[in-house]
Amino acid sequence: MTRLNNKQKAFCREYIKDWNATKAAKRTGYSPKTAYSQGQRLLKNVEVRAEIDRLSADITVENKVEVKEIISGLKAIAFASDDARVNNSDRLRALELLGKYKNIFTERKEHVVRPFEPPQEPEERKKWLQGQLALLESAESAGNGLVL
């Protein structure tokens, strides 16, 4: 079993404060530019998840509050009747927290991969290859070239 390093332990402590991986990564000292990806990577780490589960269980025991009670309270706020005098911002916040608990607000990125099909006609293929070469050269001059 791998041990967590100090930065990973700090991430776990920060994460259970608001259950936001990006913010926890930033507070832990990861670069703001990479905080989102670092947070998501850390949450996929088995040892990190185990530590987060342990810390959240400790909080539950310390506060003598069960997860079921918290969820029940949030549901009562989110779905209160109109005459219950619950303002909309409280309803939205309760719904947001329930959504986070259920992991329904994860960001998804869709990647489209197009098949590689150069033109069949020799003259068109030559133009296409010249265009591809120009793209590679411009990427290389901008410092974004391919390393083979």
Tens digits of residue pLDDT in 56-110: 887 766 666 677 888 888 899 999 888 788 888 998 999 988 888 887 876 666 7
pLDDT at 39: 92
pLDDT at 148: 47
Helix (H, G, I), strand (E, B) or coil at 121: coil
Give the pLDDT confidence of 34-63 residue by residue, as tens digits: 999 999 999 999 999 999 988 888 776 666
This prediction has a pTM of 0.44
CB 87: neighbour CB atoms within 10 A?
9
Give the pLDDT confidence of 106-144 residue by residue, as tens digits: 666 676 666 677 778 888 888 888 888 887 787 777 765
Own/partner contacts of 19-22, CB < 8 Å, gap of 24 or more, are 19/100, 19/101
What's the CATH number for 1-63? 1.10.10.1400
Burial (CB count within 10 angstroms: exposed 0-12, middle 13-18, buried 19+), residue 27: middle
Is the separation of the CB atoms in 66 and 74 below 8 Å?
no
Highest-confidence range of 5-9, 16-20, 64-68, 101-105, by mean pLDDT?
5-9
Q: How far apart (Å, rounded) are the C-alpha atoms in residues 118 and 127?
A: 10
Q: How far apart (Å, rounded) are the C-alpha atoms in residues 95 and 78?
A: 6
